[in-house]
Amino acid sequence: MLVVIGDLVADLIVLGGSMLERGTDNPAEVRLTRGGSAANVAVAAVSRHPVRFIGCVGDDTLGRTLVRDLEDAGVDARVQRTGRTGAIVVLVDAVGERTMITDRGAAAELGPIDASWLTDAEWVHLPLYGFTSPRSRQALLEVTRGLAERGVPVSLDLSSTATMRALGGEVLNGIIAEVAPSVVFANADEAALAVELRCEPAGSVVYVVKRGGDPAVVRFGGESLEVPVDRVPDVLDSTGAGDAFAAGYLTAAVAGATAYDSARAGSVLAMSALRRAGAL
């Protein structure tokens, strides 16, 4: 079982929303979809390997709808409920790049996780968003301690430059040290900031850097390999592409693929996310 722990929220996708005229109407195409990095990874991966999602949503209609959406996709959803379900406004520009206005809501209130939800875990994936609030950070660190004792590999996605800056280099280094991930994912901007914050993964960690349409880079043990990426013409929306990459990588890795082949599988799955509005 691939277990993904983190956010399940609603995404309000605004296509054509990057050039706004203040104080008047701004026509755009607006879609309400399921979002949250962890939930995106779970749905993108589930057709390739059994997946369990663990997170926290509000005890409200939106939360129940989002959980049902995960279950309809085939994901085994285990959720805590408190407060109100989070939402993100995603403004997508003409070339598919997105700017996000985030309210994580209940997702930030993840508490101690039932150990029985992790007994059959083969691999656990953690987006960095889950470490931003003290409560959820403590819950995730407790989980990783138990996984380390059982030898279950963990992957960490650096997720967001804003999140990295908010945590700061000292805290981020502490998180990486305690989680002891087997694999760390970053995009080019996050990788550059990791250098600035002096928190680049090293040693035995497989460090996967996604660079859009340029080859991805896999670093491990002092070696660096470039992984070809097929360019997608006319990108509609890049929302969830990084999560799809992680899903492709992880399902290949769980099946025993090399880091190079896993990254190639990730790049192929990410392509499909670029051709639709919202995440997979």
Kindly list the catalytic residues. Answer: 243
Q: Which tokens go with 50?
A: 């059994």
Number of DSSP helices (H) and strands (E) in the chain, helices first = 7, 13
183 phi and psi angles, rounded to 5 deg: -135, 140
**In 3D, which of 46, 76, 56, 11 has the Cα closest to residue 247?**
46
HSE, CB side, 13 Å, CA atoms: give it for residue 187. 18
Query: Which residue type does 171 have?
Result: V
**Residue 171: both structure tokens together:** 């805290």
Angle at 65 between CA 64 and CA 69, to 5 degrees: 115
What gap in Å lies between CA 71 and CA 69, rounded to an integer? 5
b/e code 18-35 from CB counts within 10 Å (16+ = b): eeeeeeeeeeeeeeebbb
Contact 85, 110 (CB under 8 A): no
Contact assessment for residue 186 and residue 212, using Cβ atoms and an 8 Å cutoff: no
Q: Decide if 94 contacts 125 (C-beta within 8 A).
A: no
- CA-wise closest residue to 42 among 81, 69, 3, 86: 3
DSSP code at position 181: -
d(CA 255, CA 252): 5
Gap between the Cα atoms of 21 and 66, Å rounded: 32
